Chains A and B, each alone.
Chain A
Amino acid sequence: MLKLTFVETKLLARDPGAVFSLLIPLFILVVFGSSIEPGDRVLLPMALAIAVGLVGLYMVPTTLATYRERGILRRMSATPVRPGRLLVVQLLLQLVLAVTACGLLLAVAGTVLGAHLPDQALSVVLTFLLGTASMFAVGLLIAALAPNGRAANGIGVLLYFPMAYLAGLMQPADQMPDMVALVGEYTPMGAFGQCLRDVWAGGAPDPLLLAVMAAYALVVSAVAARFFRWE
């Protein structure tokens, strides 16, 4: 298990996609960050949602569907070690990737850009964990349904833009039609983004939205598990 984790970590470090999902949100942060006021409370939560979304919707499904497509899971089931271990290791590593991406954003925004950093650590961690879980669940569902790695990649990217739009990451929610903004708040990324904004505004995340994210995480990953094929 240790060796598997070690090898998978090396593979992740060699994957240009991983570098991409670290750098894109950072790039957005730095480009828009040059024009923010000190103590800004909007840009950083947006960048965090983008980062977690990229890992959940792009990295998770592409990696897992590619492993299945290449028969790597199947080859492993012919050894004494169950291929489920590989999935567990991958999900943990993707979680580490998401944490790293967010850590990088917090560090740069907090120091160089002087953006606001919230002080309620518990709310931040809770929001991050539930948001990541719901986004990973969507990624797992894509991996379960996509016929191959390229399709998973395509579906992930296609899904990313409408989800980011509904979450108010491309246009502020108050400029969107009311109906769209309301629906958007209950999408996985929308609930995540709204909770982050609440925390950054100095309040507590809406328990209803936290529950919405938890529900997505449970229901969507259960559906993904139901449809997942090992080959």
Chain B
Amino acid sequence: MAVIEVTDLRKSYAGLKVLDGVSFSVEEGEIFGVLGPNGAGKTTAVECVEGLRRPDSGTVRVLGLDPVRDARRMREQIGVQLQQTQLPENLKVWEALDLYASFYADPRDWRALLEEWGLAEKRNARFGKLSGGQKQRLFIALALVGKPRVAFLDELTTGLDPQARRATWELIKQVRASGVTVVLVSHFMDEVEELCDRVAVLDRGRIVALDTPSGLLEGEHRMRFTLKAGEAPDLTGLPGVTGVSRTGERVVVTGHGDFATAVTAHLARHQVLVSDLRIDKRTLDDAFAALTGRPFDDN
């Protein structure tokens, strides 16, 4: 069952098309990624779904509800972690959870959330005194305190160190395991690859791909090596190989599937010695570049 259905969303600011016909649906129980470089329209798209912004045109249904018309009923059932929000400096961790729990008709027991998110020791700490990771965990806990069926998490690991990011990823997997559908906005390829069941790749207000991470990663891989001894045999006819190029002693072979095994076996058969052998797996960066014709970080 689709919990979110978005059809032909359009939004412009001062003549600039931020969303240019975005459609997607999110299935119950999945972690759905919205990936794209900064300024691609990810946050705007998700904020239209959350009811924080009104699209110029297009329809949004969340759990069958219209985010603008049925705002109150919808907000009872969603949890949100926004980019760049803070709490009052002097608000204590337990007070924040207690307060936000009071906003919902049927909230979770916030004391259990404190334990789950490793904030029990910090329950009396003021927001201003928390570390980046602790703040982030508190925001996720606040997003879950209303017992949401869908949780929206926007750039949740930005500014965290690698260890804290890993830890946060594990927690997000637990959220999904508890039956909550998660919409994850991110500009980190590794995060999306690690967590998401499906990913919508946004570029300049349009969805350029919508697939599983492994689906996006299908395609050509690259193998590189340097010839050491022996004459290079012809590799072009081998199964899976799509291209061979040679610059001096450096050889680059591109291909699909298990082409690398075929290439190494062929080299061995012809008693060719190679060094610096490397196989580059296609990354989501490559996939993005292939889809848009631009590297991911080129904004």
Contact = CB atoms under 8 A, between A and B. Distances in A.
Nearest to B96: A7
Interface stretch (A21-29, A76-84, A128-136, A160-168): A76-84
A80 B104 contact: yes
Contacts of B91: 7, 11
Interface stretch (B82-90, B189-197, B282-290): B82-90
Contact of A3 (B72, B84, B99): B99
Nearest to B85: A71
B86 A71 contact: yes
Contacts of A14: 90
Interface string A1-45: 001100100110011000000000000000000000000000000
A79 B102 CA distance: 10
A82 to B, nearest CB: 9
A75 interface: yes
Contacts of B8: none
Given A7-B91, A80-B105, A71 B99 contact: no
B80 A7 contact: no
Interface residues of A, number: 19
Contact of A72 (B76, B80, B85, B98): B85
A71 B127 CA distance: 14
A79 B99 CA distance: 11
Contacts of B82: 71, 74-75, 78
Q: 9 smallest A-B Cβ distances: which pairs?
A: A71-B85, A70-B86, A78-B80, A3-B102, A14-B90, A79-B103, A81-B103, A75-B85, A80-B75
16 contacts: A3-B98, A7-B91, A7-B98, A10-B95, A14-B90, A72-B86, A74-B52, A75-B82, A78-B78, A78-B82, A79-B75, A79-B103, A80-B72, A80-B76, A80-B103, A80-B105
Interface of B: 50-52, 72, 75-76, 78, 80, 82, 84-88, 90-91, 95, 98-100, 102-105, 146
